[in-house]
Amino acid sequence: MEDIYPTLGLVALNLGGPIGVYFFGRLNDSIGRKKSFFLCLTTLLSGSILTCTAQTFWWWAGSRLVVGLTVPAVYQIPFIICKIIIIFYWMTDCGL
């Protein structure tokens, strides 16, 4: 059974991704991108600390699920913020 533990950890990490994208996407719309990004970073740090302090495999796998919630969103949110800033700068530079 212990041979499958790394695979289960990866499954937990990847399972959190779609849930996190939906959750943080809805959060972006309701409270704004900056606050959502910092909440995402806080969740990532909390999950990472839980991963470090895990005493059992299942505690570790659950904390990897928490980290997995943030993986796609932590890359997506800053990209969207930068895209908005660049488009705004380009529009004002061109006189639009």
Is the Cα torsion angle 65, 31, 28, 36 positive or negative in sign?
negative
CA distance 48 to 63: 7
Sequence-separated (6 or more) residues with CB below 8 Å from residue 76: 21, 24
Of the candidates 26, 78, 27, 69, which has an alpha carbon nearest to the alpha carbon of residue 45? Answer: 69
Stated pTM of the model? 0.78
Number of domains in the chain: 1
Task: Label residue 73 by pLDDT band (50, 70, 90).
Answer: confident
The pLDDT tens digits for 41-71 are 999 999 999 999 999 999 999 999 999 999 8
Q: How many CB atoms lie within 10 A of CB 29?
A: 10
Give me the domain span that covers residue 60.
Answer: 2-94
* Vertex 56 angle, CA 7 and 60, to 5°: 50
Least confident of 5-9, 41-45, 86-90: 86-90
Residue 46 confidence (pLDDT): 95
Residue 76 confidence (pLDDT): 82
Q: What is the mean pLDDT of the chain?
A: 87
Residue 9: is its pLDDT beyond 80? yes
